Amino acid sequence: MRGFELVTINEYVKKRKSEEYKEIKQPSRATANAAGYDFYLPYELMIAAHEAVIISTGIKAYMPSDEFLMIVIRSSLGFKMGLRLRNQVGIIDSDYYNNVDNEGHILVAIENTSDKEVCLHQGDRFAQGIFMKYQIVDNEQMIVNKRAGGIGSTNRKNK
Protein backbone atom coordinates (compact mmCIF):
# COMPACT_ATOMS: atom_id res chain seq x y z
CA MET A 1 0.00 0.00 0.00
CA ARG A 2 1.11 3.53 -0.70
CA GLY A 3 -0.40 6.91 -0.22
CA PHE A 4 -0.27 10.39 1.22
CA GLU A 5 -1.21 11.85 4.58
CA LEU A 6 -1.03 15.28 6.15
CA VAL A 7 1.61 15.87 8.78
CA THR A 8 0.17 16.98 12.10
CA ILE A 9 -0.55 20.66 12.60
CA ASN A 10 2.13 20.66 15.32
CA GLU A 11 4.70 19.61 12.74
CA TYR A 12 3.44 22.01 10.09
CA VAL A 13 3.66 25.09 12.33
CA LYS A 14 7.37 24.44 12.88
CA LYS A 15 7.79 25.81 9.33
CA ARG A 16 4.62 27.74 8.44
CA LYS A 17 1.50 29.47 9.82
CA SER A 18 -1.30 27.41 11.38
CA GLU A 19 -3.93 29.23 9.26
CA GLU A 20 -2.46 27.59 6.14
CA TYR A 21 -2.93 24.07 7.47
CA LYS A 22 -6.56 23.88 6.36
CA GLU A 23 -5.44 24.73 2.79
CA ILE A 24 -3.24 21.63 2.42
CA LYS A 25 -4.54 19.44 -0.38
CA GLN A 26 -3.36 15.87 -0.81
CA PRO A 27 -1.49 15.12 -4.04
CA SER A 28 -3.60 13.76 -6.89
CA ARG A 29 -3.27 12.71 -10.51
CA ALA A 30 -4.77 15.02 -13.15
CA THR A 31 -5.53 12.34 -15.75
CA ALA A 32 -6.11 8.58 -15.79
CA ASN A 33 -2.67 7.90 -17.33
CA ALA A 34 -0.65 10.47 -15.38
CA ALA A 35 2.40 8.91 -13.72
CA GLY A 36 2.81 11.73 -11.22
CA TYR A 37 0.75 12.91 -8.30
CA ASP A 38 0.58 16.71 -8.38
CA PHE A 39 1.60 18.56 -5.22
CA TYR A 40 -0.45 21.69 -4.47
CA LEU A 41 0.87 24.86 -2.91
CA PRO A 42 -0.97 25.58 0.38
CA TYR A 43 -0.01 29.29 0.36
CA GLU A 44 0.94 32.18 -1.93
CA LEU A 45 4.62 32.32 -2.81
CA MET A 46 6.74 34.96 -4.52
CA ILE A 47 10.13 33.74 -5.73
CA ALA A 48 12.53 36.53 -6.68
CA ALA A 49 14.80 36.20 -9.69
CA HIS A 50 17.62 33.74 -8.92
CA GLU A 51 16.18 33.03 -5.46
CA ALA A 52 15.69 29.60 -3.91
CA VAL A 53 12.88 28.80 -1.48
CA ILE A 54 11.82 25.75 0.50
CA ILE A 55 8.16 24.82 0.20
CA SER A 56 6.55 23.12 3.18
CA THR A 57 3.97 20.83 1.60
CA GLY A 58 2.33 19.57 4.79
CA ILE A 59 2.39 16.12 3.17
CA LYS A 60 4.09 12.85 4.04
CA ALA A 61 4.08 9.64 1.99
CA TYR A 62 3.98 5.98 2.92
CA MET A 63 4.96 3.12 0.63
CA PRO A 64 6.35 -0.44 0.65
CA SER A 65 9.97 -0.78 1.76
CA ASP A 66 11.18 -1.50 -1.80
CA GLU A 67 9.81 1.77 -3.19
CA PHE A 68 10.65 5.46 -3.12
CA LEU A 69 8.81 8.62 -4.11
CA MET A 70 10.58 10.67 -6.76
CA ILE A 71 9.78 14.41 -6.63
CA VAL A 72 10.25 16.47 -9.80
CA ILE A 73 9.21 19.96 -10.88
CA ARG A 74 6.15 20.17 -13.11
CA SER A 75 7.53 20.53 -16.62
CA SER A 76 5.38 23.58 -17.38
CA LEU A 77 7.03 25.52 -14.53
CA GLY A 78 10.47 24.68 -15.86
CA PHE A 79 9.67 25.58 -19.46
CA LYS A 80 7.50 28.65 -18.89
CA MET A 81 8.87 30.14 -15.66
CA GLY A 82 12.45 28.91 -15.26
CA LEU A 83 11.75 27.06 -12.01
CA ARG A 84 13.65 23.92 -11.07
CA LEU A 85 14.18 21.78 -8.03
CA ARG A 86 17.25 22.96 -6.16
CA ASN A 87 18.49 19.36 -5.85
CA GLN A 88 17.29 18.47 -9.39
CA VAL A 89 15.35 15.38 -8.22
CA GLY A 90 13.99 14.69 -4.77
CA ILE A 91 14.08 11.13 -3.45
CA ILE A 92 11.80 10.23 -0.53
CA ASP A 93 12.80 6.85 0.91
CA SER A 94 10.17 4.63 2.49
CA ASP A 95 11.79 4.99 5.93
CA TYR A 96 11.44 8.80 5.78
CA TYR A 97 7.75 8.32 6.65
CA ASN A 98 7.02 9.21 10.31
CA ASN A 99 10.70 9.77 11.15
CA VAL A 100 11.43 11.24 14.59
CA ASP A 101 12.65 14.62 13.31
CA ASN A 102 9.77 15.80 11.13
CA GLU A 103 7.15 13.02 10.70
CA GLY A 104 8.30 12.63 7.08
CA HIS A 105 7.22 16.16 6.11
CA ILE A 106 8.04 16.54 2.43
CA LEU A 107 9.90 19.80 1.82
CA VAL A 108 10.57 20.89 -1.75
CA ALA A 109 13.41 23.30 -2.58
CA ILE A 110 12.67 25.33 -5.72
CA GLU A 111 15.00 27.74 -7.49
CA ASN A 112 13.99 30.51 -9.87
CA THR A 113 16.63 30.52 -12.62
CA SER A 114 14.95 33.35 -14.53
CA ASP A 115 15.57 37.09 -14.37
CA LYS A 116 11.95 37.75 -13.33
CA GLU A 117 10.03 37.31 -10.09
CA VAL A 118 7.61 34.37 -10.19
CA CYS A 119 4.33 34.34 -8.30
CA LEU A 120 2.78 31.00 -7.40
CA HIS A 121 -0.74 30.99 -6.01
CA GLN A 122 -2.33 28.92 -3.29
CA GLY A 123 -3.63 25.75 -4.91
CA ASP A 124 -1.17 25.84 -7.83
CA ARG A 125 0.36 22.52 -8.79
CA PHE A 126 4.13 22.98 -8.52
CA ALA A 127 5.73 19.53 -8.32
CA GLN A 128 4.80 15.93 -8.87
CA GLY A 129 5.61 12.73 -7.05
CA ILE A 130 6.05 9.40 -8.78
CA PHE A 131 6.18 6.15 -6.79
CA MET A 132 8.90 3.84 -8.08
CA LYS A 133 10.32 0.43 -7.19
CA TYR A 134 14.06 0.00 -6.88
CA GLN A 135 16.41 -2.96 -7.16
CA ILE A 136 19.40 -4.01 -5.08
CA VAL A 137 22.59 -5.68 -6.29
CA ASP A 138 23.39 -9.37 -5.93
CA ASN A 139 25.42 -10.33 -2.87
CA GLU A 140 24.79 -7.06 -1.07
CA GLN A 141 25.91 -7.20 2.55
CA MET A 142 23.13 -6.96 5.08
CA ILE A 143 22.52 -3.33 6.06
CA VAL A 144 21.70 -2.91 9.73
CA ASN A 145 21.58 0.90 9.91
CA LYS A 146 18.15 2.45 10.41
CA ARG A 147 17.06 5.99 9.63
CA ALA A 148 17.80 8.21 12.62
CA GLY A 149 15.78 11.26 11.56
CA GLY A 150 14.67 13.49 8.72
CA ILE A 151 16.51 15.29 5.92
CA GLY A 152 20.25 14.71 6.05
CA SER A 153 20.05 12.00 8.71
CA THR A 154 21.46 9.11 6.67
CA ASN A 155 24.99 9.58 8.00
CA ARG A 156 23.93 10.17 11.60
CA LYS A 157 24.97 7.55 14.10
CA ASN A 158 22.09 5.47 15.43
CA LYS A 159 21.52 5.67 19.14
How do the domains of the chain map onto residue ranges? 3-133
Q: Which long-range contacts (CB under 8 A, 24 or more apart) does 87-91 make?
A: 90/127
pLDDT at 139: 86
> 36 pLDDT exceeds 70?
yes
Is 83 exposed, middle or buried (CB count within 10 Å of its CB: 0-12, 13-18, 19+)?
Answer: buried
Judge if pTM exceeds 0.95: no
Q: How far apart are CA 35 and CA 97, in angstroms?
A: 21
Bridge partners for 35 per DSSP: none
Q: How far apart are CA 139 and CA 146, in angstroms?
A: 20
Q: How far apart are CA 45 and CA 23, in angstroms?
A: 14
> 154 pLDDT exceeds 70?
no
Give yes or no for a contact between 60 and 4, defined as CB atoms under 8 angstroms apart.
yes
Choose the weakest-confidence range: 8-17, 42-51, 147-156. Answer: 147-156
Mean of pLDDT values over 23-40 = 97
Q: What is the pLDDT of residues 101-151, one digit of tens each?
A: 999 999 999 999 999 999 999 999 999 999 999 998 888 787 777 666 666
pLDDT at 150: 60
Looking at residue 7, the DSSP 8-state letter turns out to be P
Domain at 3-133: CATH architecture? Distorted Sandwich (2.70)
